[in-house]
Amino acid sequence: MAKLKLTQAAVDALTPPANGARKYKVSDTAVAGFHVAVFASGTKTYYVRYTDLRGRPRDMTLGKHGVVTAAEARKRALELRAQAALGRDPAEERRRLRTMPTVASFVADRYLPHLRESIRSHAEYADMLRLRILPAFGRMALDEVTFADVAAFKRRLIGEKLSPSRTNRHLAVLRAVFGKALKWGAYTGTNPAASPGMLREEHREVFLDAAQFRALTEALRADRDQVAACAISLLALTGARKSEILEARWEHVDMDRGLLTVPLSKSGSRRHVRLSGVALGILGLLPRTAGQPYVFSSPRCPGKPLEGVRAAWDRCKAAAGLPAGMHLHDLRHTFASLCMADGVSLYEVSKLLGHSNLATTQRYAHLGDKMLLATADRIGSIAMGGAASARLRPAERHRPPRLPPDPERLQSLRRMTVLLPSCRPLAIPDGLRFIHVNQGMAA
């Protein structure tokens, strides 16, 4: 390699290579590693060579002659060699910046495939990404998104009048995207959505009272779509999630044991839905057709589950005079509230609802205040009765007291046995508890 002090005039004087050569290089005599390549086309490009921490020689382009001057290229070469001497790798840093995936490409190539493999509700996550997150961040590189960008996105969601819980869900998905990108080495730095400032959520506490339950029962019995009415009835009787009922297969129904097995629940594990005698009676009314594996089959798409029960729910809700803002999922809340009111422990309610974390069920804890008051009254009566009466039998020490049955609630349960005209009602004794974990809903 020829050597020359690379000044503007000296580089201007360099001519293209002769004898058919593609290029030749001329190194600078003042700065080690600084050189210029002269190509057959007449283009002249400045480079700097340095050695990285692994001892490998690296060449980095500084710019074309005419776009940058020889003095500017020499100054940049000195800066880059200084960075390399301090342990950095300028060429690798440039490569990472140029190959940094955008948020949209990372989501499409890596995050969405991960969701489909690991999370049952991936369709809901994909909708949030497609409708709001990617339009806001999709074209930005992963390392370009800042805390300020996330804060602006949060304000936009609030401006769209999304509920606090829905806003928090979007922020949680955004945080998960960047968390996975960091974990998988897609970029280095911090998670801009790590602490987005989640909004305070007010949990819905909408439950059906006895009169509303009776009205809904009559509306379900009279509805023209009895298949959808059966599905809604099972939601009310089991506290199951909508997907667990609509996607139930006959092969997962154990009529003898009173169990509906959910192979993959929302929590990502197998769970069992307890079926009462009333629920089993409803299942017994449904026809089993060859080639239809689902308990509730789609009338439009053979071999597929029922798409939904929204139309039937809206009709029955209106016929029963229920509030317009009442959701189908509120039947699950009603089931939990009835369990708590009947003295079922929080742990048992958690198992019945299929919650993987007891903290999720904690929202219903206040519904057991009546039980706590009864316990406090019982302890008070023991204290007033003297020390002798305070000697509890071992089996009673940790057993919650049983309240006398609520006549109005028992009447509601009796009416639930006649959700359908052709379902023979089963007798419910007055002293029967509402629920038992090992046996399901008694009937």
Residue-level pLDDT at 202: 72
High-pLDDT (> 90) share of the chain, %? 42
3-class secondary-structure state, position 37 = strand
Q: Which two tokens stand for residue 85?
A: 């001497």
* Measured distance CA(72)–CA(434) in Å, rounded: 84
User: Which carries the bigger pLDDT value, residue 368 or residue 110?
Assistant: 110
DSSP-derived letter for residue 405 is P
Task: Kindly tell me if the per-residue pLDDT of 249 is higher than 50.
Answer: yes
Q: What is the CATH number of domain 2-97?
A: 3.30.160.390
Characterize the bridge pairing of strands 57-64 and 253-254: unpaired
Q: Which two tokens stand for residue 124?
A: 């809901």
Confidence of residue 425 (pLDDT cuts 50, 70, 90): very low
* Residues across the chain: 443
Burial classification of residue 118, based on how many CB atoms lie within 10 Å of its CB (0-12 exposed, 13-18 middle, 19 or more buried): exposed
Choose the weakest-confidence range: 183-197, 268-282, 382-396. Answer: 382-396
* Measured distance CA(82)–CA(93) in Å, rounded: 15
**What's the mean pLDDT in 309-321?**
92
> Which residues are CB-contacts of 416 (< 8 A; sequence separation ≥ 6)?
213, 217, 233, 236, 237, 278
Residue-level pLDDT at 399: 47
Place of tokens 């690379």: 6
Residue-level pLDDT at 69: 94
- Looking at domain 210-331, its CATH class is mainly alpha
Task: Kindly tell me if the per-residue pLDDT of 420 is higher than 60.
Answer: no
User: Which carries the bigger pLDDT value, residue 102 or residue 91?
Assistant: 102
* Measured distance CA(158)–CA(176) in Å, rounded: 20
Task: Kindly tell me if the per-residue pLDDT of 136 is higher than 50.
Answer: yes
**What's the mean pLDDT in 308-320?**
92
Confidence of residue 174 (pLDDT cuts 50, 70, 90): very high
Burial classification of residue 140, based on how many CB atoms lie within 10 Å of its CB (0-12 exposed, 13-18 middle, 19 or more buried): middle
User: Which carries the bigger pLDDT value, residue 87 or residue 418?
Assistant: 87
Residue-level pLDDT at 323: 87
Answer for the pair 14, 43: CB distance below 8 angstroms, yes or no.
no
pLDDT tens for each residue of 185-240 = 999 889 999 999 999 877 666 778 878 888 998 999 999 999 999 999 999 888 88
Average pLDDT across the chain, whole number: 81
